[in-house]
Amino acid sequence: MQSRSFSVRLLLAVTGAVLFVVYLAVGAAVVELLTTVATTSLHPLVFLASLLVCSLLFGYVSYRGGTAAILGSLDAWELPRDRAPQLYARVDRLCDRMQVESPTLLVAQMPAPNALAIGGRDGGTVVLSTSLFRLLTLDELETIVAHELAHIESRDSLVQTLGLSLAETVGGVIFLFLLPVGLFVAGIRRSLRWMTGRRTESFASHLRRTHAQVATVVFGLLFVVTLALRAHSRRRELAADDRAASVTGKPITLARALARIERASKPPGGLLSPLYIHGEEESALGQLLATHPPMTDRIQRLVDRAEASWTTIEIE
């Protein structure tokens, strides 16, 4: 009995040692393959540049397709010039002061009174909810449109889309590089379990668990990048407020418009939520993932800006 137990342990140890050698050989082969590919085909910098270009191209195509999808989901209609001549006159003046072409003004039924900007400088679109025309004065509506034009002027939606596409591409590349490393490390651990006579999992379970562990690492990296992109989005919202206040000269009017929107309703989540001018999250994680700063902070910044300009005028 004791002899059989020794034989089993010896067999497990030999199996583990063989697996250890096999995993080392596979790891060395993978390193050799990657080294050969890197030295005999594309230069690493050329490869990275090609990957970057492809990622940006894919992001741009996704941006164009996403723009069409958003417009299709809104079921919006174009606002005729003869129906809102005063608003169009103000929009034309804003475009003359800003580096944008006259946008297409669309009207749509939205769950919340809001506005959103789609597209770039050469052919942007501003969508206004029907409730804004009942809720805001013409001056207030002008400042809201100026805020959206500021997003078009800075190509904010394009930058966000390209940033997300680049992050996903980098995440995929990291996953492809980490997976062989993860399999190698997990394989060594599995062979050591054989050598020490401990119970081992099936090879299929071994692959699934390693895949999940590597995916968790990549997901964590992408989550950090997402937080950075959302922080950039919140900064762009504040920059759009500043640009609108500067180009219209009406920071208090914009603050009043935002306050009216804030009191009217809160927008739901979904496909269009990152594009809404409104944004409010209560939890700490929600604030980190929010695309917009708290509305109260935006309003206070505009009030402070107006007070600073009044103080300057009084001193002069």
Q: Check whether 244 has a pLDDT greater than 90.
A: yes
CA pair distance 282, 302, nearest whole angstrom: 22
Average pLDDT over residues 204-219: 72
pLDDT in tens, 25-41: 655 665 565 566 555 55
Look up 168 and say whether it is catalytic.
Answer: no
The total domain count for the chain is 1
- Which residue out of 142, 148, 153, 237 is catalytically annotated? 148
- Note if the pTM is more than 0.85: no
Q: Check whether 12 has a pLDDT greater than 60.
A: no
- The residue among 34 and 101 whose pLDDT is bigger is 101
Mean of the per-residue pLDDT values for the chain?
A: 76
Q: What is the pLDDT of residue 316?
A: 46
Q: Which domain range does residue 61 map to?
A: 1-316
Q: What is the pLDDT of residue 292?
A: 81
Contact status, residue 10 vs residue 196, Cβ threshold 8 Å: no
pLDDT in tens, 108-164: 988 888 898 888 777 788 999 999 999 999 999 999 999 999 999 988 887 877 777
pLDDT in tens, 43-68: 666 666 766 677 667 666 766 666 67
Q: Check whether 188 has a pLDDT greater than 50.
A: yes
